[in-house]
Amino acid sequence: MKGRWVKYLLMGTVVAMLAACSSKPTDRGQQYKDGKFTQPFSLVNQPDAVGAPINAGDFAEQINHIRNSSPRLYGNQSNVYNAVQEWLRAGGDTRNMRQFGIDAWQMEGADNYGNVQFTGYYTPVIQARHTRQGEFQYPIYRMPPKRGRLPSRAEIYAGALSDKYILAYSNSLMDNFIMDVQGSGYIDFGDGSPLNFFSYAGKNGHAYRSIGKVLIDRGEVKKEDMSMQAIR
């Protein structure tokens, strides 16, 4: 979008617990001294933490986002969200999670020490129109019938797909690209109607290539400066 960036809809809640650290030097949480934690997930009888998580207030905000933006997702997992809300209202003490039907799990991590790096997923909200008009010139296509590998992005930009596959027109080719990479997005047609969810439709037959890595390899952006803003 020109002069505006997409809003973000959080599609899930991650409850992060602060665990006691061992003596091994690390800048991340450290639970196991011997590096022999060999199960991908292990149920924790009693979390090794006291009191509410430092970011407990974010949980309620995330649940409200989910309820408002995706009622179906909220309904499918309402028992989980309700349990988290009840736990938060009762003080959010990690020692009392079991009382609300919430289990804590320890993850193995790639190093067998329980160190896990989480990455985030978001669903962009794209401004678009049903017809080509004004600044809304960039087609958003639905997936055509697949016969082998689908056209490349360059081929699509050159007109490889029929107009009958056009779902909408956005005002930013970059926004279209970001939605393609994320796999789905919400479309705001600007007419006051509810947001339309354009969901993942299938694989295109092309290998994934990180545009961030390409820019770093070309020397256009430093690795430490890479971000969505840098890509745009």
- Give Cβ neighbours of residue 89 (< 8 Å, ≥ 6 apart): none
Which pLDDT score is estimated for 24? 38
Tokens 């009693």 belong to 46
* For the chain, domain boundaries: 41-107, 125-231
Same fold: 41-107 with 125-231: no
Identify the band that residue 44 occupies on the pLDDT scale cut at 50, 70 and 90: low
- Separation of CA 112 from chain center: 25
Percent over 90 (pLDDT), the chain: 21
pLDDT (mean) for 73-86: 91
pLDDT (mean) for 11-16: 35
pLDDT (mean) for 153-182: 89
- Give Cβ neighbours of residue 124 (< 8 Å, ≥ 6 apart): 6, 7, 8, 175, 178, 179, 182, 185, 186
HSE (side-chain half, CA atoms, 13 Å) at 160: 11
Domain 41-107 has CATH 2.40.40.10: yes
Domain 125-231 has CATH 2.40.30.10: no
Check pLDDT > 50 for residue 215. yes
Which pLDDT score is estimated for 16? 35
Identify the band that residue 11 occupies on the pLDDT scale cut at 50, 70 and 90: very low
Which pLDDT score is estimated for 190? 93
Token pair belonging to 224: 């430490």
DSSP secondary structure, 65-131, as one string: HHHHH-HHHHHHTHHHHHHHHHHHHTT--GGGGGGGT--EEEE--TTSSS--------EEEEEEESS
Alpha-carbon distance of 212 to 177, in angstroms, equals: 13
pLDDT (mean) for 37-52: 64
Nearest to 115 by CA among 23, 29, 12, 214: 29
